Amino acid sequence: MSLAEQVLEGNIRAAARLMRDIDDCRPEAIEELKLLYHRTGKAFIIGITGPPGAGKSTLVDQLTASFRTRGKKVGVVAIDPTSPFTGGAILGDRIRMNRHSCDEGVFIRSLATRGSLGGLSRSTSDVALVMDAIGMDIIIIETVGVGQDEVDIVKEAHTTCVVMVPGLGDDIQAIKAGILEIGDIFVVNKADRDGADRTARELSNMLEMRNIVDGNWNPQVMKTEATRGTGINELTDEIMKHRDFFLTSGTMSTFLRERNQRHFMGILRDTLFRKALLFMAINNDLDRVVSGMSDHHIDPYSAVEEIVAKMMPQRVE
């Protein structure tokens, strides 16, 4: 049996192996994904994003437990940063979720960013696809600690939770571009800290200043203490409330079309890039161009046009 067939039968080992092959960019993984794709699209994806130290992993651990008490199978994709110097990564987020290791209804996979920006790994979408195929009802994607413009999760998740904590900065932090726009739910974690009420109040005030069109979702601010489990059931309820809105308001069709387009364009871009590298390797074009650029004998713009023209005899403007 192929890996894809084993995954569709619920084989966890096969799913883990396929995810590894996907993350390692092995060509055979693409063939397996082709078989799986037609059997996916049932899972609901939740994104958990926010700055480093906001308690995202602990929050994900508690949400996983909460969804399990409701009979949902949960897949977790935890993204960890990659060192820009060594290329290594400590996939440590799942250590905080160790209590779920013996639960057959939970599947946890850690991924390294491998240089990708936006808070996600380049293989995130395809790994989530495998979790969908194996029967996970809920997939939680925890981003690496992100900045204000690294918000790719909003393009991937049906519901995006932005996690913040008291004491990260002044009032201006709450209204900077990229923060208020991406959240479906805002979570003030570590709510036992001084300033938590103020942070929640400021977020609520900023959200009230937005122009909410009638019929659109109105984001709420929730307070949690993930280490104690306080506020987790209320947050789960709010996520399910947004899920119901998402499925009944007509938002789903627009979201899926835009996500599918981005997914296709990403695959197309990566495939063309790999083919270009293989093409240039035939005549050692890369070294020739780089050497020519060093003494400014060759400009990179003309070099790219030359390579593209060689690869595609029929010129595309």
Q: What is the pLDDT of residues 230-251, one digit of tens each?
A: 999 999 999 999 999 999 988 8
Contact in structure between 146 and 51 (CB atoms under 8 Å): yes
Q: For residue 15, give the nearest of 135, 102, 117 by alpha carbon.
A: 135
Please name the residues in contact with 98: beta carbons below 8 A apart, sequence gap of 6 or more.
none
Q: Domain 41-249, what fold?
A: Rossmann fold (3.40.50)
Q: What is the mean pLDDT of residues 26-37?
A: 93
Residue 228 confidence (pLDDT): 93
Q: State how far the Cα of 156 lies from the Cα of 226, in Å rounded to an integer.
A: 24
DSSP structure string for 187-225: EE-STTSTTHHHHHHHHHHHHHTS-PPTTS---EEEE-B
Question: pTM for this one?
Answer: 0.86
Residue 161 pLDDT greater than 50, yes or no: yes
Q: Is the pLDDT of residue 114 over 70?
A: no
| pLDDT tens sequence across 67-86 | 999 999 999 998 876 544 44
pLDDT attached to residue 83: 46
Q: Are 11 and 104 in contact (CB under 8 A)?
A: no
Which range, of 86-90, 153-157, 195-199, averages the lowest pLDDT? 86-90
pLDDT of residue 317: 54
The terminus-to-terminus CA distance of the chain in angstroms comes to 45
Predicted local distance difference test score (pLDDT) of residue 179: 67
Asked if the model's pLDDT at residue 13 lies above 90, the reply is: yes
Mean pLDDT of the chain: 85
Retrieve residue 272's tokens: 């063309």
pLDDT the model gives residue 282? 92
d(CA 269, CA 262): 10
The whole-number pLDDT of residue 99 equals: 79
Tens of pLDDT, residues 122-135 = 788 899 999 999 99
Judge whether residue 259 has pLDDT over 50.
yes
pLDDT value for 176: 53
